[in-house]
Chain A
């Protein structure tokens, strides 16, 4: 084993190692190179370690000088190593992330979306408004009998609506009275038969008329019926109720007009028109150039209807209204042809994703 280096030798070694170390670190091109440099500089057999080990054999003043220098060099080298390592690590991370680069303009992954039918969307909006107003949503059968569909509603046996031209009858042996309900009004009768007044209900549902399929008509369409029977129900209550409903549904700035109309099961009868929400009343194709769109038929429940269900018409009065909402949905969504509602074309249905 050779003699320990003198202080001068040690100082020279430290200078040499410092220069060598800084060079090594500077040339390191990877974290591994930095590790190797560290080993080469501070390994057990490295010159630096030799100097350190020899410190003890130096005289005190030299030991202090060399020791001080040793610490300086170690600190400088360690700092250089740390700095270089961090730089290289950061470079490597950047490179790894770069490898992970994607084209962010590629389409996103989407869950398969479903959609409600536009008629369902409109129906739900309608009945929700009425439930907020205190009405109960009830439903009835689509197969009805003549009594509920006509007689009980004061529609006389010779009324034109009772012909096969308008009403779809069933051909069930032993049951000539069966038909597909032509309106949701039979549910007025069923509701009043089932419970005593007061009655506040709305009835959405499918109704049937024996019509040819055209761009404007289908043999099947939808109505929502309303019925309020209580002590002290007045014609003005009908007006206020329907006005509130229509403004809620179609917009607060809408003008609503109530004019006389005729339905056998109401008296006085009325219809409600709204200012055309396409042209605002100035006249367009949607409103047939009259500025108004007819939205519903209504009236005070006919005293004979109340009698038919065993209510006392002198004590109880009521109003009823009914509206088809297929056309409303068409106007609402800009659907040009009613048949589209029934074709189940996915290109149509998919446009209602997220609606409703």
Chain B
């Protein structure tokens, strides 16, 4: 609400500056949005008399006016010609400033004629928006009078934010009441007396109200003999400063009183009202009406219209129509001042999307008691500004409603506010707000005036009391909370999720909750399973997001477009699907894309599946999610060969994988895009904060690198699990460090390399050289398939063991075995261990038979038939490691890659039937390859790079492959946690 300061002072003559008043009002809840001085840019404009208007010699449109400004004459070029010789006009001479122009005026030549400034239009002076004519002034002042002083344009406008429940403050009077209450300066209400003619208004027109509920009161006054024209300049200036357009004196009078008193009114041309009467009725369903803005509106039966006997002439309380509009030809005016039910006006203006000054005030419930006084004041102003006579009395249908009566208990006020306030204080405080309050027994009885419809119950009055008494006088106390604070489990859990991903090097992003049809399509969500938004902020995204992935992909595309080299982002947020009801779930998603690093030390590679998986591992490990595995590829939009479902306790809780290139390209992401998305709620069900410290091992490990040549389709995780299970409790840690395909590994096979730490809790293990010859054994699988198995062995004995090496006194260290128990091939038991007690006695007899399936359920996943998993393989000593594992230029994992060393891999073979195939002998065979002796000879000829011989298992040994690719630090910590470490893929996976 823009309040013109001088207007406010007419109703409550405060001596405060606008800034001081603004501060005072904000303590009362009436906050200032801005303070402006609209005529700050006006100076030097004076009143001048037009002496002569003549044609411009070089222009048909322009003219030249000669004017007298009191102390001299000037010639000015003018674009319009509505001024005549003898008229008074505002002259802005050289050096003068007007609000509409940024620079002061100067003498300048316009088409060969020198113009000494300008004669101003109302627009240029900020009086109204009219720029089609020169402002011709009333002829009652001498030439040379300062224009700004003459019309009091040192005006200040304070724009106040009025709270939604305070209709009364949408008027100068309402604000003046607050000022009066805050300062104690008495209110001077507007003059509502009006000189009336003898003729009663009731004889000039009729009013019929057909809907008394929506229109409880309708009052009409009649003014005869008006001559519409411009309003006084000061009135126009006030309307403009208040944000309204001056139109004509009749209309301006109603707007002026609306701004002043808060009562919207409407003038009709009485002569154009059919039957000289008003009918207030509901609109016909589908009734059409052209409003004053020239738009045809279609009404409903719920809308209230003002009509005459023949037609609707306005939408009640919202907008008039051209049908009975006041025009220059109008002589008789019917002035409407009515009270409409707030709900009716709100609904109509909302439905028609038509919000006007009137509908805003009625919609908040205007003061029903202001109907008559506002009409009297407006009628008086019309007569004053437009001439004519106000007919006696009014046509008044309905009556003001009864005032609401409430009571306030001072002790209730004290309970809520925290300080005692007496009944007398309460009554006094309310009295300052012009609210009649009276102390009776122990309560204060209140009669709520019409201008305060917001006061509906006791608590509202208590607020008024503390508002008057001052929020600044309230003390500051704290409640005595008797319980500890804390986080809901969901909040706590989300924090752990975020922290883990930040530690894993991802950046948190946030995106809006909406999705396009293409996003749904991408994620394979049917439109019917999407949650539609009725009024989406963007028409392109009419759904709630079913997944966080599309928005993250868009973020990658945006970053790429801005020249960023990739990004690693995550988001935790809600996603929505429709499944009968709306399913709202919390998800966490991450995307990685671009180079693995930048600059000097960066690895020259692209982020890919394993980076996403690494982040996923970091996440689930830090959350203490126990058993989780990867399952089948989830299908579109995920890459069929580089994605998997994430399964916890047999249930899919998410996906990890690379996006199909086609999908990534849709979002303009460059290169591979890997991502994961998990259900946070399901994740939290399997998470744990429990940590039990395991003893730090006192004995050094024996480290052996083992490679297995297996069918290329066998998951590395299955082999790892087999190694783990076969090694039993002595396996302390398994780190997978290479995958190799290509010559000399046969077509369709791959070599998997693991570094295995063996450790006994109670004594030192020492590795000794194998005494077993290289060779082939025939080994019967339980289902009759005969599989060739190559072998080498590791033997391990304890330091200080008195028994000589190689005498086979140890027990077998069953690194490899088969499902279901072997009957033959027990001579795989080459490895020895000094302490039979570490093994179950049955192991010794059973030989290769492991306690349960070698390839455990963890690898295969529940619900999958993994009984067919079998493996036979032999361990590989370091120096026997295939060349590709030794050389720094370790080959990639891609099939068919050229092997730089050209040497054959060692004779390590594993044979693991394909998961899911019937375990009836269709197992895939490993293939024998390589001879150790030849390889060993070559190694020995190699010189410095060849590892030192003997003393294996002690101290750091050179690694045969490129340094830096290994995830495990030398002598790094190991523990049960690490035993899981490698199942999920190799971080040391060399790529080039």
Contacts and interface: CB of A to CB of B under 8 A. Distances in A.
Contacts of B535: 164, 168-169, 210
B537 A139 contact: no
Given A139-B491, A172-B531, A239-B474, A342 B26 contact: no
B510 interface: yes
Contacts of A115: 502, 507-508
Interface string B529-557: 00111111110000010000000100100
B977 interface: no
14 contacts: A170-B533, A210-B537, A213-B538, A219-B537, A239-B474, A243-B476, A259-B29, A259-B31, A267-B460, A269-B29, A270-B471, A300-B459, A317-B415, A342-B511
Contact of A114 (B472, B484, B505, B538): B505
B675 interface: no
B502 A134 contact: no
Nearest to B364: A160
A117 B509 contact: yes
A133 B483 CA distance: 10
Interface string B463-491: 10011000110111111011111111011
A245 B32 CA distance: 25
Given A114-B501, A130-B485, A303-B459, A137 B418 contact: no
Contacts of B457: 303
B483 A114 contact: no
Interface in A298-356: 300, 302-303, 317, 341-347, 349-350, 352
A349 B163 contact: no
Interface stretch (B41-49, B187-195, B567-575): B567-575
Contact of A220 (B503, B513, B597): B513
A112 B511 CA distance: 23
Interface residues of B, number: 92
B351 to A, nearest CB: 10
Contact of B488 (A138, A175, A232): A138
B416 interface: yes
Contact of B459 (A120, A164, A171, A302): A302
A46 B490 CA distance: 88
A211 B536 CA distance: 10
Interface stretch (B339-347, B760-768, B841-849): B339-347
A239 B479 CA distance: 10
Interface in B484-535: 484-488, 490-491, 495, 498, 501-513, 531-535
B478 A170 contact: no
A4 to B, nearest CB: 49
Given A142-B584, A206-B574, A268-B417, 11 more contacts: A131-B485, A131-B487, A137-B491, A158-B343, A206-B573, A218-B512, A232-B479, A236-B475, A260-B463, A269-B463, A346-B559
B164 interface: yes
Contacts of A236: 417-419, 474-477
A232 B559 CA distance: 54
A247 B709 CA distance: 66
A173 to B, nearest CB: 9
Contact of A341 (B32, B466, B477, B510): B510
Given A208-B513, A268-B467, A341-B510, A172 B483 contact: no
B764 to A, nearest CB: 34
Contacts of B531: 143, 170, 172
A136 B584 contact: no
Interface in A152-201: 158-160, 163-164, 168-172, 175, 178, 180, 198, 200
Contacts of A131: 485-487
A239 B488 contact: no
A40 to B, nearest CB: 31
A288 B35 CA distance: 11
A63 to B, nearest CB: 51
Contacts of B415: 232, 234, 317
B508 A116 contact: yes
B513 A111 contact: no
A293 to B, nearest CB: 12
A132 B486 CA distance: 8
A220 B350 contact: no
B165 interface: yes
A233 B479 contact: yes
Nearest to A109: B601
Interface in B832-890: none
Interface centre among A115, A119, A347, A349 (most CB of B within 10 A): A349
Contact of A350 (B34, B474, B503, B507): B507
Contacts of B537: 168, 210-213, 219
Interface centre among A134, A138, A244, A342 (most CB of B within 10 A): A134
Interface centre among A107, A113, A124, A172 (most CB of B within 10 A): A172
B510 A268 contact: no
Given A109-B601, A237-B479, A346-B559, A206 B513 contact: yes
A43 interface: no
Nearest to B542: A171
Contacts of B599: 107
A239 B475 contact: yes
Interface in A210-263: 210-213, 218-220, 228, 230, 232-237, 239-241, 243-244, 257-262
A136 B485 CA distance: 5
A285 B859 CA distance: 62
Contacts of A218: 512
Nearest to A163: B350
A143 B474 CA distance: 38
A279 interface: no
A12 interface: no
B578 interface: yes
Nearest to A347: B564
Contacts of B569: 344, 346, 349
By Cβ-Cβ distance, the 10 closest A-B pairs, closest first, are A260-B29, A234-B418, A112-B505, A344-B555, A134-B481, A268-B463, A114-B502, A219-B537, A236-B418, A262-B163
A277 interface: no
A346 to B, nearest CB: 5
Contacts of B534: 164, 168-171
Given A139-B490, A210-B535, A258-B474, A134 B508 contact: no
A113 B34 contact: no
Contacts of B507: 114-115, 117, 346, 349-350, 352
A228 B33 CA distance: 31
Nearest to A133: B485
B28 A158 contact: no
A135 B576 CA distance: 29
A203 to B, nearest CB: 9
A346 B567 contact: yes
Interface centre among A141, A178, A239, A260 (most CB of B within 10 A): A260
Given A235-B466, A259-B27, A342-B512, A317 B419 contact: no
A213 B350 CA distance: 23
Interface centre among A135, A164, A235 (most CB of B within 10 A): A235
B600 interface: yes
B558 interface: yes
A294 B584 CA distance: 33
A343 B478 contact: no
Contact of B478 (A241, A264, A290, A342): A241
B491 A142 contact: no
Interface string B570-602: 000110101001101000000000000101110
B437 interface: no
A196 to B, nearest CB: 13
Given A262-B165, A344-B559, A346-B567, A267 B459 contact: yes
Interface centre among B346, B476, B538, B567 (most CB of A within 10 A): B476
A106 interface: yes
A248 to B, nearest CB: 12
B691 interface: no
Contacts of A317: 415-416
A210 B513 CA distance: 13
